[in-house]
Structure 1
């Protein structure tokens, strides 16, 4: 992907805005609670005060909950935040077939069923907000062989389902272990991968070495403790800020032009995700963002809204 020179080096923030569920339990179509959304206005205020737009990727329980729609309608009044789409296949009608782990990855579904779910969700979002969504993320990063064509047909411009360095094939999902962090074009769409960076003295080995270490008992842990190789995703969820700052330095030095950071909306209220279990965790969550945004300011890396990204892509 060739970015315009005047775009500079930027960062963007995607939020998986979703229902609450037990992350350790099987996926259940009855899990549609959205109580954590009450914490969203305060989070948005914090980001807006720093000039940061939120790309709110919402799923079916959020799009069909009047209280959540009202909250997000006020969020996009900042003029830079935007509503996108996130498909959680297990809570998104129509429902067909067994609720297996593999079926929780929308890209594994039969083309007609994935298309029907996408159409249902896109229509619900368009009705709720009066504007058709332009960006998409598959829940559980479950992009599949038909997804890009289906998204382009519905008018989407951007996908952000690829998570470089991660392999979900053991659970029936996609394997992104060798994916790159930079943006690229794919069948009428632009892919904006979540930013993952390998740090450490052996980082040149990247995904290939990290995958190989996964086949060695405790191999990844040994390399991480020896500061040889660590996989760092740019998210406050289970990623120490010191490692994230090192990852930014590495990626900036290698010329990455767009950093794509993310978090899940239920993390804004303690007790809904493994990452924010109590008030102390929430305090660390916000401290992570303060330090990261300070680092971007120091480096002259400005925030980019979805609209600014789409304009830059031409």
Structure 2
């Protein structure tokens, strides 16, 4: 994807301050190492979502949930989220498209077809329509925010989202290149939000280290040299740090937050997958020790944000500021 024009970049209102958002990819659990399947998945991990929500809200956070088709179409899974909605008026339900489990099923099961942006336009529109209607039926409200599963965005998808009533997308993962698997290349894009057919609010990726201003381009070039990225990270020259508790040591996250705030960042966009709330469902939380580490990560990150005066922003807060 090309970078946005400078004129399209969001200038956050002064009274918005410096904020953070948490978007949860609320999805089925499945074997991440297995081939794609229409039905080899479960929804048991969603039982942990209410407690996780309470823990985050108790720290002042206002998470939003990007729900995919298996969750929206399952009555028990929807009940879990409806109970959270009833308890917390700041909660928002967005949409997340996993093409391989989202009807209609006309595409082959493949890595290429797992990126929504690679689907034929008519099929993509049909899948988005089925997802949007399932969420509206389950929760009594149409989703306004969207994320493509596996970050599978293509430029044409933004126009389709606008025509479908969406106002915000958060599918761009700056500094990451998924072309080897058939996906998009985001290495020319940074974390700044911009206006397109809808608002694009990228996830936060921060480059740290002495060479951080060379950022994604240098990091991409290092990928061609065996072990070069690891050497540069260990020696403090360059690290790519996405703001997520999944696979990111807390010390790196704290440094990345300090860098982002020091360089004038106005919004930090955090994310994680709901199956990580239960051990054994993602590569990031394999056992109880990993889960404890997951929550210690949030405690230390939220402590830092509190000390720096960075407040949470709900989806409604974001949309109001962007209006």
Q: TM-score, normalised by structure 2?
A: 0.96
Task: Tell me whether 1:219 sits opposite 2:228 in the alignment.
Answer: yes
Deviations 1:186-211 (CA, angstroms, capped at 9, x unpaired): 12x00110000000011111001001
Alpha-carbon offset, residue 145 of structure 1: 3.0
Task: Tell me whether 1:269 sits opposite 2:303 in the alignment.
Answer: no
Task: Tell me whether 1:141 sits opposite 2:176 in the alignment.
Answer: no
**1:81 alignment partner in structure 2:** 91
Distance in 2 between the 1:47 and 1:217 partners?
39
Superposition map of 1:72-151 within 5 A: 72-77=81-86, 78-151=88-161
Alpha-carbon offset, residue 249 of structure 1: 0.7
- Secondary structure of residue in 2 paired with 1:285: helix
Distance in 2 between the 1:214 and 1:231 partners?
12
Task: Tell me whether 1:34 sits opposite 2:52 in the alignment.
Answer: no
Q: Structure 1 stretches (4+) deviating beyond 4 angstroms?
A: none
Task: Tell me whether 1:9 sits opposite 2:5 in the alignment.
Answer: no
Distance in 2 between the 1:105 and 1:96 partners?
14
**2:195 alignment partner in structure 1:** 185
Conservation of the 8 A alpha-carbon contact between 1:41 and 1:75: yes
- Secondary structure of residue in 2 paired with 1:194: coil
Alpha-carbon offset, residue 275 of structure 1: 0.4
Superposition map of 1:137-216 within 5 A: 137-187=147-197, 189-216=198-225
Distance in 2 between the 1:282 and 1:57 partners?
21
- Secondary structure of residue in 1 paired with 2:251: helix
Distance in 2 between the 1:124 and 1:66 partners?
11
**2:4 alignment partner in structure 1:** none
Conservation of the 8 A alpha-carbon contact between 1:55 and 1:84: yes
Alpha-carbon offset, residue 41 of structure 1: 1.0
Q: How many residues of Structure 1 are paired with residues of Structure 2 in the alignment?
A: 313
Distance in 1 between the 2:143 and 2:212 partners?
37
Alpha-carbon offset, residue 32 of structure 1: 3.6
- Secondary structure of residue in 1 paired with 2:155: coil
**2:30 alignment partner in structure 1:** 21
Alpha-carbon offset, residue 65 of structure 1: 1.1
Aligned-pair Cα RMSD in Å: 0.7
Distance in 1 between the 2:315 and 2:91 partners?
8
